Amino acid sequence: MAPDRLPHEKGFHVSWDQLHRDARALAWRLDGQGPDNGAWRAVVGITRGGMAPAMIVSRELDIRLVDTISVKSYNHQSQSAPVIIKMPDRDLVGDGTGVLIVDDLVDTGRTLEVVRATMPKAHVATVYAKPMGRPQVDTYITEVSQDTWIFFPWDMALQYVKPYRAGE
Ligand SMILES: O=P(O)(O)OC[C@H]1O[C@H](OP(=O)(O)OP(=O)(O)O)[C@H](O)[C@@H]1O
Ligand code: HPA
Ligand SMILES: [Mg+2]
């Protein structure tokens, strides 16, 4: 959902360090929760934003089978209908049993709705969640309000900021 304000006005800015900590927290929460004696079989990251969290989760949980599902639903901050551009290996994921689907965030939940339909038995995990999309997620770490835009480290750069009391 596109917020109708400038990016710096209501934004949740996530650094690489913060993302790393939060994705690790997600992994630790998922540890031992898989259907096979607590183990997970594979990780499927939703490209592109889910790739960094998926890498961190699979590293923490020692899961070597990692695949991707490619979904496009946003062009900058405007949403369109989600389209699956690439499916994961069907022989690997099956109906999703033992599979962890990982994304950076859920906003409206439309992306996850489409992804879930392809692997109905998978467990869906995101690092961040907004209220509207929460029903689509099984496990997440941090919730932000629906009108907050989350800025990820790969979309930002360090830059000069004027002092609060700027001189004339
Ligand atoms: O819950 P929703 O309202 O569907 O929105 C959440 C999705 O939107 C973003 O992906 P985007 O489609 O922008 O692609 P990207 O991951 O390649 O940036 C984000 O990474 C989630 O995958
Ligand atoms: O808040 C967001 N931040 C980045 N990408 C997104 N895609 C949907 N919502 C968001
Ligand atoms: Mg995405």
Q: Which domain CATH number covers 42?
A: 3.40.50.2020
In a domain, 32, yes or no: yes
Task: State yes or no: is 103 an active-site residue.
Answer: yes
Q: What is the pLDDT of residues 57-105, one digit of tens each?
A: 999 999 999 999 999 887 766 777 889 999 999 999 999 999 999 999 9
Bridge partners (DSSP) of residue 70 are 47, 86
Name residue, tokens 């997440």.
Answer: 140
Tell me: pLDDT of 7 over 70.
Answer: no
Q: What is the mean pLDDT of residues 146-161?
A: 95
In a domain, 160, yes or no: no
In a domain, 64, yes or no: yes
Task: State yes or no: is 91 an active-site residue.
Answer: no
Is the CB of 104 within 6 Å of ligand 1? yes
In a domain, 159, yes or no: no
In a domain, 155, yes or no: no
Q: How far apart are CA 99 and CA 166, in angstroms?
A: 52
- Whether the complex's predicted ipTM surpasses the cut of 0.90: yes
Tell me: pLDDT of 152 over 60.
Answer: yes
Question: Which domain, by its residues, includes 20?
Answer: 16-144
Helix (H) or strand (E) holding 99: strand 99-106
Ligand 2 mutation target, pool 14, 150, 156, most atoms within 8 A of CB:
150
In a domain, 116, yes or no: yes
In a domain, 166, yes or no: no
pLDDT band at residue 9 using 50, 70 and 90 as cut-offs: low
**Per-residue pLDDT at 92:** 96
Following CA atoms 64, 29, 22, 139 in sequence, which dihedral angle do they give, to the nearest 10 degrees? 90
Percentage of the chain modeled with pLDDT above 70:
93
Q: Quote the ligand 3 centre to 38 CA distance (angstroms).
A: 27
Tell me: pLDDT of 6 over 70.
Answer: no
Tell me: pLDDT of 115 over 90.
Answer: yes
Say how many domains are in the chain: 1
Could you give the angle at which helices 51-60 and 16-30 cross, rounded to 10 degrees?
A: 50
In a domain, 157, yes or no: no
Q: How far apart are CA 85 and CA 167, in angstroms?
A: 51
Question: Comparing 72 with 108, which gets the higher pLDDT?
Answer: 108
Q: Tokens for 20, please give them.
A: 């790393």
Ligand 2 mutation target, pool 46, 77, 147, most atoms within 8 A of CB:
77
pTM over 0.90: yes
